[in-house]
Structure 1
Amino acid sequence: MSNRIPFSRLTSAAMSHLVQSAGDTLASPFRPMNMSVGKPQVFFDGRPTLKLGDKARGQAVLSGQFTRFGQSLDIGRSGDPWTVAAPSQRFADWLHRFSWMEDLCGLTDKSAPVRARFLIDRWIEIYGDYNAFAWDVDITAERLFYWLSLWSPALSTDSLGDKAASRRAAALRQMKYLRKYYKRTTPGLPRLRAAVSLAIGGLRLQSKSDGYLNRALDWLDDEIELQILPDGAHVSRSPEQTLAAFDMLRVLDDLLDAKDVARSKTMGRAIDRLAPIIAFFQAGDGGLVCFNGAGEGDKKRIAKIIKASNLTNKPFGYCPHSGYQRIAQNGTVLMIDSGSDPSVPFDGQAHLSPLAFELSTAEGRLISSCGWSSEQPQKWHAPMRATAAHSTLVLDDSSTGRIVGGGMKERLFGAVIADGVGPVKAQRKEQIDGIWVVGSHGGYQADYGLSHRRRFYMSPDGHDVRGEDSLYVPLGATPLRRDAIPFAIRFHLHPTVKVTLAQDQKSALLIQAGSVGWRLRTDGGPLSIEPSFYLGYGTRPVKTEQLVIHGAAFGDGDGETRSNRVRWSLTRLEARK
């Protein structure tokens, strides 16, 4: 802490509390009445950050086309989105966060930063004083992150007739607002982003009379301790949120280095842990595995971040704190969710998916879950968190826990997990002849008296993947019932995979892109092909298929009889000529 620049606190006009505009249709619990910032501030430019924007999306924004959630807003090359009706509230929320500016500023076209400045200046003219919706604390924190991280060279010009002074004043007004209401940000990634945004703002300020940086870095250390697990994953257990946390800290770290300000030990340890876990969460095609509120992501962006991190070691095998097992052999990647529920309040997007797995290769994804994407329709989010939306065993067509849905509890706490899957245990053994992972969970024990055990194996060449699912009464427990309980072992197929079922309903042929074949066999059954959906990318669910092994387990079984145990295998076939 002693190496940080010693800023003192700004004198600012007080912001009134719990006042809102009568004209606001989307009310806020607080409203600033006086956001004076005094004399114009000078902002430090530093070096530009790593460009990660998507060129196609940036070109669309440059031409006036904003697209998100399957909705579009066309404002033309000289218009702005602030004076026309947005397609939806969700779309408006995205517009005001300015994440699209990363794509626009990623272009080499000289008109791109000019356009970015215009769009920001127009926002300031209309919303710069205050608006209940646009100044929501979470939205403000994200908007500041993109404004301030992309300040140089897009926004910092002081050329004749430019509104740079107004831009700086608007940024400072929002910093003062966010600092005052920081604790009202949503716990989790939004609050981490708020601390990062304020720290970047403190670094941008040239004046040494402003108390933003030290306080923001202290807040950031507190959030890192809460949110970044010792194995490097975000506490939500989401690969996507883990990537977002690393990306934010990476941007701040670059600016700290440019300003010659030492990062804290807490931040340094977090970055060191976060960097290698991004590669850990990669599927065989370079995207992210789709667990706990994560979609495939932007593969090019992920590759750029990993390259910039200068990682040289191959991904490790397991994450003991977040609860994931990764088996990778010869380009075949098997990822297993062997973790328990995240703690409250970080479980708002957590899935009920104990011992679910995804299998992918360099040719693409083979076995997946139903996926997840923030761009997908919100009505699909709850079903995608259910156990049946994952490649695992589902007992009696019920989930291994319960998610809060509707009512006062959801309004207060969000769609958090009400009844969890219970502890999930896993062991790993690496040998010359292959790698084994054995896991178990008691998510069905309270209702059915049975625990689920799952074994995985992968051969050294990655061409032989085997599994075994068993349902058993735990040692010392009393069976709750003795009748047969139906179960289904689900293998959701990625939309790029084609499947053909054998006549005996004991095996199926799976063909990946590039005509690579895999054979799934089972000693249980019958095996059937059923419809499924995939939401791992895009703005609309994609129809796909799933292979399902049906059976019935006795409530007093020990997991060793044919009724309560099913074995299956996936074997890679010779590539077709």
Structure 2
Amino acid sequence: MTGHTLIDRWRTGWRVAMARPPKGARSLVWQPEPRGTGSARRGQQILSGLWHLAGQLVEAPGTSPWDLTAPSTPFEMQLHGQGWLDDVMAAGGRTARLAAQAWVVGWARRFGGGRGPGWDPTLTGRRLLRQISHAPALLRGMEARDQTVFFDMLYRQAAYLRAHWQIAPAGLPRMEALTGLLYAGLTLEGMVGLSAATAQALAQAVRDDVDEQGGIASRNPEALLEVAMLLGWSIDALRVLGDVPAPLMAAQARIVPTLRALRHADGGLARFHGGGRGRPGRLDRVLVTSGIRSRNDSGLAMGFVPVGHGRTSLIADAAAPPTGEASGSAHASTLAFELTSGNCPVIVNCGPGGSFGPDWHRAGRATASHSTLEITGWSSSRVGPLMPQGGRQIAPLIQTPTRVQWQRSASRRASTVILSHNGYAESHGLTHLRRLVLSTDGRVLDGEDSLRAMTGADKEVFEDKLAEVDPRGIPFSLRFHLHPDTEAEIDMGGRAVSLTLPSGEVWVFRPGREISMMLEASVHLDQGRLKPRPAQQVVLSDRLVAYAATIDWTLTRAQEATDLPPSPAEEV
């Protein structure tokens, strides 16, 4: 986001002032169809004065959004990015159109000269894309003087992006900036040569930012979905008006199969590295409109291993987390997994906490917030000090695992995934090894988790740490976070946990040996809600007193669902 210091505000104002709109006729030479998947329900809420953005709610009936006091920076960013225009326009009707007109023109009058927090390339691209997409409806019945303000705003934003899109961070932020600029070049009269130059810039961006496996540096599945959505919009617009650069088509052909691989049986995305399930309907629309039916079956999709049998999907994090500028929302989730049965998530990660404030953001990134093994009080990667990125501050991951290995095999009876990481080697001399075996009918998941000192040097570090911490052993826990809709209770005299899903399915979790097993409190961090949802987690605890310790466990479907409709992932 644009900085708030006096120098930052002066620099931004100067850049916008220098982005003088060209003289001459101003009109739309092409009227694109709105592409956003807006929610009419959310639009009606906004029209009634309920602004639910970035997980926070502001109630201000009859108040302009530009008179609101933003409760947080993420709220302010979403407000000025104007992605909510999709929702308001989806509500339909004269009331929605007049409110959208007043709010868009009101922003132009108050902030269009470079004031306020909305002037960075990413937010500008996001805002410009929505304003242009809805321009035909917004212009209907608009007074002549307001039309002048509206077009001046469009052209000024386009000129600003033309000069400064390069400062947007790589990945999704750069895609938002360039997609907004591309739509400006295709729709605004007099923007000679802009669309061709932007299309080539987009082609170079996807070559730089989308790897050969269809992944992005942040390893955030939801961010990959947003990139795919913007890429699809760009391809469709260019296809209508001319040729599509080959690198854009090639990038889409890589991304969509990877998105399919990262999709659970219930149709939602795996929640890793700051990403959620995806906005309802968005993933389906991206997959269908792409026309690409293939799936990434290489075994590794953007660093995740997906396994699916029957109505059960399992997705495990099998690569080192991002570092540097790409890791501002990355999590210490190495070897964590999620499991979904039909339409019901069973084992999950806590999810992204950024919309609930900095404390939840940091907590959600910790290893303890994921379904994996943690050495008590330690994460497999650490959160580092703040560093600048694109005009804002991020806390990157540091001291990440230097070696993450995976292997997958299959037989007639099961698929087996063997994983390891050395994220605890430097601090404790220990490597985490995990084996996951999912039966081909999707009814049984067998697991084995080990901590081992692998080398002589590792054993020395372990001995020193053991003496430093507690001669009784180094405490560690194996955590299985449960979806909040799952009902859990200790069963079989404390030797098992029964998990009842909303579908009526019952799964039973059992450790392979006598060990401390407890149901503890957890949270489910969903960006679409006002506060974290209470949940539970199964926790197996032990102490490591020798060079190796192993916990094996089993998760078995003991009772089928009472109703078995097709899962969303089976239909798209």
Shared fold per TM-score greater than 0.5 = yes
Matching residue within 522, 526, 531 for 1:536: 526
Q: How does 1:271-350 map to 2 (within 5 A)?
A: 271-313=252-294, 315-317=295-297, 320=300, 322-350=302-330
Moved more, 547-556 or 474-483: 474-483
One-letter amino acid of the structure 1 residue matched with residue 245 of structure 2: S
Cα displacement string for residues 93-151 of structure 1 (whole angstroms, at most 9, x for unaligned residues): 32111010011222343543343223212221222222142323332222112222333
1:511 match:
500
1:57 aligns with 2:42: yes
Tell me how far apart the structure 1 counterparts of residues 398 and 323 of structure 2 sit (CA, whole Å): 11
One-letter amino acid of the structure 2 residue matched with residue 539 of structure 1: L
Aligned residue pairs, count: 547
Q: CA deviation at 1:293?
A: 0.3
Moved more, 566-575 or 90-99: 90-99
2:469 match:
none
Moved more, 461-470 or 99-108: 99-108
1:548 aligns with 2:539: yes
Q: How does 1:78-477 map to 2 (within 5 A)?
A: 80-151=64-135, 153-157=136-140, 161=144, 163-207=146-190, 210-259=192-241, 261-313=242-294, 315-317=295-297, 320=300, 322-372=302-352, 374-405=354-385, 414-474=394-454, 477=457
**Equivalent residues of 1:73, 1:86 under 8 A apart:** no
**Equivalent residues of 1:341, 1:422 under 8 A apart:** no
One-letter amino acid of the structure 2 residue matched with residue 529 of structure 1: L
Answer 1 or 2: which has greater helix percent.
Answer: 2
Tell me how far apart the structure 2 counterparts of residues 30 and 166 of structure 1 sit (CA, whole Å): 18
Tell me how far apart the structure 2 counterparts of residues 406 and 51 of structure 1 sit (CA, whole Å): 34
Q: Which runs of 5+ in 2 are unaligned?
A: 467-472, 563-572
Structure 1 pair 505–20 and aligned structure 2 pair: CA distance change class (3 A) = closer
Q: CA deviation at 1:410?
A: 13
Q: CA deviation at 1:319?
A: 5.6
Tell me how far apart the structure 2 counterparts of residues 576 and 298 of structure 1 sit (CA, whole Å): 26
**Equivalent residues of 2:275, 2:352 under 8 A apart:** yes
Q: CA deviation at 1:428?
A: 0.8
Q: CA deviation at 1:576?
A: 7.3
Q: Secondary structure at the match of 1:367?
A: strand
Q: CA deviation at 1:389?
A: 0.6
Cα displacement string for residues 30-54 of structure 1 (whole angstroms, at most 9, x for unaligned residues): 5243534312322233441445111
One-letter amino acid of the structure 1 residue matched with residue 532 of structure 2: P
Matching residue within 520, 524, 538 for 2:509: 520
Q: How does 1:37-52 map to 2 (within 5 A)?
A: 37-52=22-37
**Equivalent residues of 2:271, 2:351 under 8 A apart:** yes
One-letter amino acid of the structure 2 residue matched with residue 534 of structure 1: H
> Identity of paired residues, percent?
26
**Equivalent residues of 1:363, 1:512 under 8 A apart:** no
Tell me how far apart the structure 2 counterparts of residues 267 and 459 of structure 1 sit (CA, whole Å): 39
Structure 1 pair 88–51 and aligned structure 2 pair: CA distance change class (3 A) = closer
Q: CA deviation at 1:461?
A: 0.9
Q: CA RMSD in A?
A: 2.9
Q: Secondary structure at the match of 2:226?
A: helix
1:496 match:
485
One-letter amino acid of the structure 2 residue matched with residue 170 of structure 1: M
Tell me how far apart the structure 2 counterparts of residues 21 and 490 of structure 1 sit (CA, whole Å): 43
Tell me how far apart the structure 2 counterparts of residues 144 and 412 of structure 1 sit (CA, whole Å): 21
**Equivalent residues of 1:355, 1:440 under 8 A apart:** yes
Q: Which runs of 5+ in 1 are unaligned?
A: 1-17, 558-563
One-letter amino acid of the structure 2 residue matched with residue 424 of structure 1: V
**Equivalent residues of 2:86, 2:130 under 8 A apart:** yes
Tell me how far apart the structure 2 counterparts of residues 420 and 146 of structure 1 sit (CA, whole Å): 38
Q: Secondary structure at the match of 2:551?
A: strand
2:551 match:
566
Q: How does 1:19-38 map to 2 (within 5 A)?
A: 31=14, 32-34=16-18, 35-38=20-23
Structure 1 pair 28–136 and aligned structure 2 pair: CA distance change class (3 A) = farther
Q: CA deviation at 1:318?
A: 5.2
Q: Secondary structure at the match of 2:17?
A: coil
Structure 1 pair 539–403 and aligned structure 2 pair: CA distance change class (3 A) = same
Tell me how far apart the structure 1 counterparts of residues 392 and 64 of structure 2 sit (CA, whole Å): 35
1:70 match:
56
